Amino acid sequence: MPYSTKQINVTVVTVAMMLICQLSHAQLNLITDIPNRHTVSLDGKWQYIVDPYETGFYDYRYKEMNENSASAYWNSDKPKNKSDLKEFGYSDKYTLKVPGDWNSQDPKFLYYEGTVWYKKSFDYQKHNPSDRLFIYFGAINYRADVYLNGKKLGMHVGGFTPFNFEIPDSVLKTKDNFLVVRVNNERGKEEVPTVNTDWWNYGGITRSVDLVEVPKTFIQDFSIHLKKPEAGEVPATKNAEVEGWVKLNGQSSGNVVIDIPELKVKNTFQVTDSITPFSFQLPQVKLWSPENPKLYKVTISNGDDKVEDKIGFRTIEAFGKKVLLNGKPIFMRGIAMHEEIPQQMRRAYSKKDAAQLFGWAKELGCNMVRLAHYPYEESMTRMADSLGFLVWSEIPVYWTIDFGNHEVYEKAKQQLTEMITRDKNRAAVIIWSVGNETPVSQVRTDFMHNLIISAKALDSTRMISAALEVNYNSKNKMDVINDPLGQYVDLVAFNEYLGWYGGLPSACRTANWSTVYDKPLFISETGAGAKYGFHADSLTRFSEEYQAWYYREQINMFKRMPENWVGLSPWVLADFRSPKRNNPIYQEGWNRKGLFSNNGNKKEAFYILQSFYKKIKKKENLNK
């Protein structure tokens, strides 16, 4: 069980954690900036074996097999001779596309939860014999056991964050490497997320797989950002202070050189340890914003290694009752989404997929997206950088995980760490969320509070939040957000469905919202379901008219929101798959709260929210 907040001196711990931020990074093995490194893709067709009984992992006594067992599915499936017994085999008759979920690739996998073994053969010759080679997985849902040529490289738990393993020279072959990944997506009470979620449990190697070749000593990770000015201040664009660190893997020595060619900035810093901190000034800088998503090419080098990235410089903070981007108040015209391409009933995983989702959000008039309820593929956050979308990024601490279980806490903390490690240099990401709709209790608040402490230690430059639940108060018409977790977050965010789960949309006419916390207030979800093309009167559930009525009443209610209201991200951009939604006429396994249908059609409510966002943007432009 995580330590109780009553046992923690919060101020001391928070400060201490921030001071050892560099040490916490030193404990990580994750390599960052993969899109800009020398890689060889292993994407494409992989052979597979479906193994619901775990025959390839356990023996007939249900004990994990010895690494050298001939019956283990991670070892060769080729008989040594005609008398050699092999009761498994990989064949081109059975292949799955990587990246991709297995559920959408074959009808037999639609609801499948269990183990599938993936196998890929490849040849590889290093560019330099002294180089090191890693295998990098964008994500696998949920547990992955990775074997190469019969040797286990490692295991990873967590369905939406990246991981990598080093391939020893003693294991790698130049020809016919036999790579096997055991993938298991079974839900479990002690997992994150747990057994109960309102989205499809897509299994498989859902994101890209790459071989990453690096020098013996290489730049594993780095952080670079504007130094936060005093609270509430507008950051300088002339002689702006930049700070960060570079983490080396290997024999740390020499210098770290940071080059920003467009700004004619080049600085050299002596390596002091595996992590080298730095700070310097930019003579002149254009700040990143949704209106001007300016990115600068930044090159970092040490010895034989060099990495580059495109970095946006900006500041974000919750200050008083406002959210300040570059020191100026901003209203977030948002939308929540799932990482799904509804027309094809599958996980999104590519730049093309990201472009579709952001294209829909842009047409709606958004300047912000909530990436719910888990970290998305890296193409999404990088594209948000270039397009100018503000991003809420979240880990799947969702509903009723086992908050009293320390093992569960460690899994949540690991996913939080991997999310922040990968995306900390993305200017678009302004909010790290530690969960969604978690039930109020002391043990839950302790769990979430400790995640917030960890998030702030890893990254003190962004806001931390969580989507809170509300209880509707029908007596005094005032709904007060007083979840005790609110005292620890920077942004008080809440999900409300007044008119869908609570009464009719007309209930919005007398509803008012407030919070006991003197902080910015954000509506992280609100929405109603409608099946595209089903028309009736506005009182008929699942009709487009009912959904449109819901949004009209909500928007009228928004006019009475308190002065600390800073935005919203309605639920949801598009219809998405969910086994919990079983109305045989209107749902059929779909959550219908999308503004786009599962076929990509706009519902009536889309135009209502679009008009609302246009008015807000017009007013903002007039006030500039």
Q: How far is CA 125 from CA 17, 135, 170, 177, 307, in A?
A: 43, 14, 14, 11, 22
Residue 87 CB neighbours (<10 A) = 8
Q: Give the per-residue pLDDT at 26.
A: 31
The domain locations on the chain are 5-27+332-623, 34-214, 229-314
Q: How far apart are CA 348 and CA 357, in angstroms?
A: 9
Q: How many residues does the chain have?
A: 624
First to last CA, the chain: 50
* Helix, coil or strand: residue 496: coil
Please tell me the predicted confidence (pLDDT) of residue 21: 40
How does 230-257 read in b/e, with b if 16+ C-beta sit within 10 Å?
Answer: eeeeebbeeebebebbbbbbbebeeebe
Do 91 and 42 meet the contact criterion of CB atoms below 8 Å apart? no
Please give the structure tokens belonging to residue 545. 């008219």
Both tokens assigned to 296: 């600068």
Q: Check residue 475 and give its pLDDT.
A: 62
Amino acid type, 486? G
Distance in angstroms (rounded) separating the CA atoms of residues 267 and 257: 6
What pLDDT does residue 103 have?
Answer: 98
User: What's CA 586's distance to the chain center, in Å?
Assistant: 30
Query: In Å, how far from its chain's centre is CA 250?
Result: 29
| Helix residue spans in 435-514 (DSSP H) | 442-458
Measured distance CA(237)–CA(110) in Å, rounded? 53
Q: What's domain 34-214's superfamily in CATH? A: Galactose-binding domain-like (2.60.120.260)
Element (H, E) at 532: none
In this structure, are strands 565-568 and 521-525 parallel, antiparallel, or unpaired? Answer: parallel
User: Residue 330 carries which DSSP code?
Assistant: -
Are the C-beta atoms of residues 75 and 69 closer than 8 Å to each other?
yes
Predicted local confidence at residue 1, as pLDDT: 43
User: What is the pLDDT, as a whole number, of residue 474?
Assistant: 58
- In CATH, what class is 229-314? mainly beta
For residue 382, give the amino acid letter: R
Q: How many CA atoms lie within 13 A of 171 on its CB side?
A: 18
pLDDT at position 476 = 61
Locate all alpha helices (DSSP H) within 268-405, ordered by sequence: 351-364, 378-387
CA dihedral 431, 432, 438, 444 (to 10 degrees): -130
pLDDT at 24: 35
Phi then psi dihedrals of residue 21, to 5 deg: -50, -45
Name the nearest CA neighbour of 395 among 442, 347, 448, 444.
Answer: 448
Beta strands in 520-619 (DSSP E): 521-525, 565-568, 576-577, 590-591
Neighbour-count burial of 273, counting CB atoms closer than 10 A to its CB (0-12 exposed, 13-18 middle, 19+ buried):
exposed
Taking each helix axis from N to C end, the angle separating 10-19 and 442-458, rounded to the nearest 10 degrees, works out to: 30
Which H helix or E strand runs over 333?
Answer: strand 332-337
Give the predicted TM-score (pTM) of the model: 0.95
Residue with tokens 């025959």: 55
Q: How far apart are CA 225 and CA 327, in angstroms?
A: 15
pLDDT at 27: 37
φ and ψ at residue 72, rounded to 5 degrees:
-70, 135
Query: At 429, is the secondary structure helix, strand, or coil?
Result: strand
SS3 label, residue 622: helix
What confidence score (pLDDT) does residue 582 get?
A: 97
pLDDT along the chain (624 residues), means of 10: 41 35 50 97 98 97 95 96 96 98 98 98 97 98 98 98 98 98 98 98 98 98 95 95 97 96 98 95 98 98 98 98 98 98 98 98 98 98 98 98 98 98 98 98 98 98 96 74 97 97 94 96 98 98 98 98 98 98 98 98 98 97 85
Contact 375, 429 (CB under 8 A): no
The pair of structure tokens assigned to 334 is 């948002």
Would you tell me how many other CB atoms lie within 10 Å of the CB of residue 3?
Answer: 14
Q: Which CATH architecture has domain 5-27+332-623?
A: Alpha-Beta Barrel (3.20)
Number of other residues whose CB lies within 10 A of the CB of residue 382: 20
